[in-house]
Amino acid sequence: MKAFNALAVAIVFTAGLSDMAFGGDVLPSNVRDKLSGELIYYDASGGALSRARDETTNKDFTAETKVSVKGDFNSDMTKFFAAEDSGAPIPWSMIEFSTLGEFIRARDAGYLEKLDPAVVPVSNLKEGSYSEYGVDALRYGIVLTYNTEKFSGASAPKSLADIFDTKRFPGKRCMFKYPQFGAVLESALLADGVPRDKLYPLDLDRAFAKLDKIKSDIVWWGNGDEAIRLLSSGECGIGIAWSGRVFSAVKNDKAPLAIEWQDSLYSMSAYAVPKGAPNAAAGQALIGHFISDTEGQKALVKKITYTTDIKALDLADYGDELAPWLVAGKNAEKAIKEDAGYYSKNLPAVVDRFNRWIATN
């Protein structure tokens, strides 16, 4: 794979996507014939990713099973854990975890059903990308993003730590108003000189001390679409966003944005079936369909550039034009993997510390 630096904004795609379902039937008939009703899933993504799923893999699932799929968007996992902690009835039959750290936390708390291998063929996935309680779903970048009308060429930022350089990159910078899967704390530590292989466990005192220095320059975003709006409009010249959201904005809206992988982060979402799911059979089937629908997967990646570790697919299936946007090859080598184990043990305390810091002037 060729190495890419800051990414240009113009991308040309020649293949259109049909309104028809992308793949044929992939579920065993004895599974498909037992399904009915609707499925509400806990949607931790929203925006461009949810739209891309609805237009590809979710559409294929409904076409095959006649089960309607509806997302309930929540920007983090607070609502899910609160519901499971209380023992209250839940509406979700499948859950998307934004990160593996949150999945591990839910699994260890006993909040997930075991997957049925007769419905969810984990043998379709590469080794290490599944467990008996869930599957790794979509790999995504948490990347340095900048407005090319403000910074370009030699003046463009070169690594995630540049977000803290207010002299070279003046103006507002955009960050996710949540401490995980937004690289807020990691970027602060990198900018303060912590080596990338020494990031975890996070030194929270040091991270917040560094964040204090640019706090008045930060514009906080709460979802991926908001991040793109702030960066595309130039309200923020530089910031952190999710790679697929930037790709979608560049491809579909010709947004003046580019990304840089150096010292950016990447993470992986996970799919699982929660305890108490009202339509657990459909939840299991949706996951099984997702990892079996290779045509739907290719269509999904071409819309949002997030990949799943499916044995039958490799990078060549997505086309050379997507290479600069995928968490793979040189991009993955330049980036840093978010530590799921750290967050699975420490997230509640980290969120509490972050919220208290946000609340102070």
Q: Tens digit of pLDDT for each residue in 267-285?
A: 999 999 999 999 999 999 9
Regarding whether 196 and 259 lie in a shared domain, the answer is yes
**Residue 295, both tokens:** 């045509």
pLDDT at 127 over 60: yes
The pTM is what?
Answer: 0.90
Q: Are residues 125 and 64 in the same domain?
A: yes
Domain-located, residue 16: no
CA-angle at 158, arms to 229 and 254, nearest 5°: 35
Instruction: State the residue range of the domain holding 278.
Output: 29-139+268-325
In this structure, the answer to whether residues 206 and 352 fall within a common structural domain is yes
Residue that is written with structure tokens 């944005």 in the block: 257
- Contact of 343 with 99, CB cutoff 8 Å: yes
Are 90 and 40 in contact, with CB atoms under 8 Å apart?
no
CATH number at residue 158: 3.40.190.10
pLDDT (tens digit per residue) in 198-220: 999 999 999 999 999 999 999 99
Q: What is the mean pLDDT of residues 81-93?
A: 96
Model confidence band, residue 22 (pLDDT cutoffs 50, 70, 90): low
Using pLDDT thresholds of 50, 70 and 90, give the confidence band for residue 75.
confident
Residues 291 and 250 in one domain: no
Nearest to 130 by CA among 302, 272, 10: 272
In a domain, 85, yes or no: yes
Closest CA to 109 of 270, 274, 338, 342: 274
pLDDT of res. 27: 97
- Is 10 part of any domain? no
Whether 191 shows a pLDDT value over 50: the answer reads yes
Q: Is residue 215 part of a domain?
A: yes
Kindly state the percentage of the chain with pLDDT values over 90: 91
Residues 258 and 286 in one domain: no
Determine, yes or no, domain membership for 87: yes
What pLDDT shows up at residue 99?
Answer: 95
Mark whether 146 and 275 lie in a shared domain. no
Total tally of structural domains belonging to the chain: 2
* 354 and 206 co-located in one domain: yes
Residue 65 near residue 146 (C-beta atoms within 8 A): no
Which of 24-28, 174-178, 232-236, 265-269 comes out lowest in average pLDDT?
24-28
- Tell me: do 254 and 289 sit in the same domain: no
Mark whether 92 and 184 lie in a shared domain.
Answer: no
260 lies in the same domain as 279:
no
Name the one residue in this structure whose structure tokens are 């076409």. 63
21 falls in which pLDDT band (50, 70, 90)? low
User: What is the predicted pLDDT for the residue at 57?
Assistant: 98
Residues 70 and 111 in one domain: yes
Residues 6 or more apart whose Cβ sits within 8 Å of residue 301? 307, 318, 322, 326
Phi, then psi, of 231 in degrees rounded to 5: -75, -40
Nearest to 140 by CA among 80, 191, 100: 100
* Residues 219 and 345 occupy one common structural domain: yes
Confidence grade of residue 8 (pLDDT, cut at 50, 70, 90): very low
- Structure-token match 């991040």, residue found: 227
